[in-house]
């Protein structure tokens, strides 16, 4: 067993729950795409040309996770159970770090998106779990109490409500069984709730209100021992976020990133969601599709910690890409535009221009170091000092 270290997730959750005005913010890198997609899950390979379908390998994907953990700027890395086995259980990657490993604990049918011709997401979401909690915690079917401490003890559980009695009943029944098993095994979870994945005559017009109402109704019958440690939902805008965030002081609300969009979309969404009450962001595709993931995370963390605003962060990110000799997907002017992004795994985005000028501006910078110029020992010292200041 490696050196134990306080996890930033636990420290921040405790402070947020004690003081609702606390500015702490939890950032997660969602590297669980292999639970949804097929060979394309790790993202495009740097060697792809034009429209050639060449993707990173799973080994490449896991190597990026190692680099993200070494950087030390996220609080959670979300993985599939199989990746968790390799990195958490075998390599002990998260020992001696402030980062918490987590797994995707279920894979409902609306995220079965492997291949280009699948149609599962067109049907009402149905519950399903590939992952076993025992396998996540100790890598085998039966765990001793001591072995449960070896792997991940945190997982994402996902529900998609569709205003359909039978399908929503199935989903809630499965969630109830999961909660009871998780409580018995000392496994924590955070709850992800998507927008309805089937749009028809019974789909509520006010999707944001529908999702929020169902979250609070679902959790009203759940005591603290079985409750999620935080929520992960689409960002529906200031009004919906503020209403949910203020409803129950014991609920920590977080947002999901959705589809890739522009760099401005990613940065602005985090900044605005925090302004109206969110205290967590889990970005998957937005990070994985970035030209340079570590630089992208660097500025997400700077925004989350109130050190820089979105427009300046986009400009600074492009300056970093130029310094690293990386060609951006979009010119700076286009990357400062707003693109409509999806609120589910399967929905497609519609490009919609909107100027970024209405965002307040400030000087760029903050006090984050240039990690590309630091030795591994310097990175460790910087992170240790940062956490001494955070934890006190």
CATH number for the 8-391 domain, one of 1.10.287.1260, 3.30.210.10, 3.40.50.740, 3.20.20.70?
Answer: 3.20.20.70
pLDDT in tens, 157-171: 999 999 999 999 999
Q: Where are the domains of the chain?
A: 8-391
Per-residue confidence (pLDDT) for residue 115, from 0 to 100: 86
Per-residue confidence (pLDDT) for residue 32, from 0 to 100: 97
Contact criterion met (CB below 8 Å) for 155 and 103: yes
**Residue whose entry in the numeric block shows the structure tokens 């995707």:** 104
Buried b (16+ CB within 10 A) or exposed e, 131-155: bebbbbbbbeeebeeeebebbbbbb
Per-residue confidence (pLDDT) for residue 220, from 0 to 100: 97
Per-residue confidence (pLDDT) for residue 360, from 0 to 100: 38
Rounded distance, CA 159 to CA 340, Å?
23
Rounded distance, CA 99 to CA 383, Å?
11
The pairing of strands 253-256 and 100-104 is unpaired
pLDDT in tens, 122-138: 999 999 999 999 999 99
Q: How far is CA 160 from CA 26, 70, 119, 216, 319, in A?
A: 23, 34, 16, 14, 40
Q: Which residues of the chain have pLDDT under 50?
A: 1-2, 50, 348-366, 387-392
Rounded distance, CA 390 to CA 242, Å?
26
pTM of the model: 0.86
Per-residue confidence (pLDDT) for residue 2, from 0 to 100: 46
């Amino acid at each position: 067993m490696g050196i134990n270290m306080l996890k930033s997730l636990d420290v921040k959750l405790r402070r947020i729950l004690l003081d609702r005005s606390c500015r702490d913010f939890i950032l997660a890198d969602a590297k669980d795409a292999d639970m949804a997609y097929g060979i394309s899950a790790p993202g495009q390979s740097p060697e792809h040309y034009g429209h050639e379908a060449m993707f990173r390998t799973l080994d490449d994907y896991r190597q990026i996770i190692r680099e993200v953990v070494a950087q030390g700027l996220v609080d959670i890395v979300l993985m599939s159970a199989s990746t968790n086995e390799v990195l958490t259980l075998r390599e002990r990657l998260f020992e001696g770090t402030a980062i918490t490993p987590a797994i995707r604990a279920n894979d409902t049918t609306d995220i079965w998106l492997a291949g280009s011709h699948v149609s599962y997401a067109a049907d009402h979401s149905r519950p399903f779990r590939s992952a076993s909690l025992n396998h996540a915690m100790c890598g085998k079917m039966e765990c001793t109490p001591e072995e449960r401490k070896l792997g991940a003890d945190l997982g994402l559980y996902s529900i998609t409500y569709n205003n359909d009695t039978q399908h929503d009943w199935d989903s809630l029944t499965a969630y109830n069984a999961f909660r009871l098993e998780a409580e018995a095994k000392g496994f924590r979870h955070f709850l992800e709730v998507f927008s309805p994945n089937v749009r028809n005559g019974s789909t509520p017009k006010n999707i944001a209100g529908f999702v929020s109402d169902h979250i609070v109704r679902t959790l009203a019958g759940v005591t603290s021992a079985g409750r999620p440690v935080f929520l992960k939902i689409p960002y529906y805008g200031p009004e919906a976020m503020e209403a949910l965030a203020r409803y129950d002081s014991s609920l920590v609300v977080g947002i999901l990133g959705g589809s890739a969009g522009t760099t401005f979309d990613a940065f602005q969404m985090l900044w605005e969601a925090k302004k109206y009450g969110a205290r967590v962001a889990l970005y998957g595709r937005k990070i994985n599709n970035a030209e340079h993931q570590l630089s992208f995370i660097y500025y997400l963390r700077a925004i989350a910690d109130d050190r820089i605003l979105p427009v300046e962060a986009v400009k600074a990110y492009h300056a970093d890409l130029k310094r690293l000799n990386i060609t951006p997907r979009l010119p700076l002017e286009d990357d400062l535009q707003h693109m409509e992004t999806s609120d589910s795994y399967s929905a497609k985005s519609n490009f919609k221009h909107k100027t970024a000028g209405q965002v307040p501006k400030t000087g760029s910078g903050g006090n984050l170091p240039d990690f590309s110029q630091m030795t591994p020992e310097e990175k460790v010292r910087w992170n240790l000092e940062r956490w001494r200041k955070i934890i006190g």
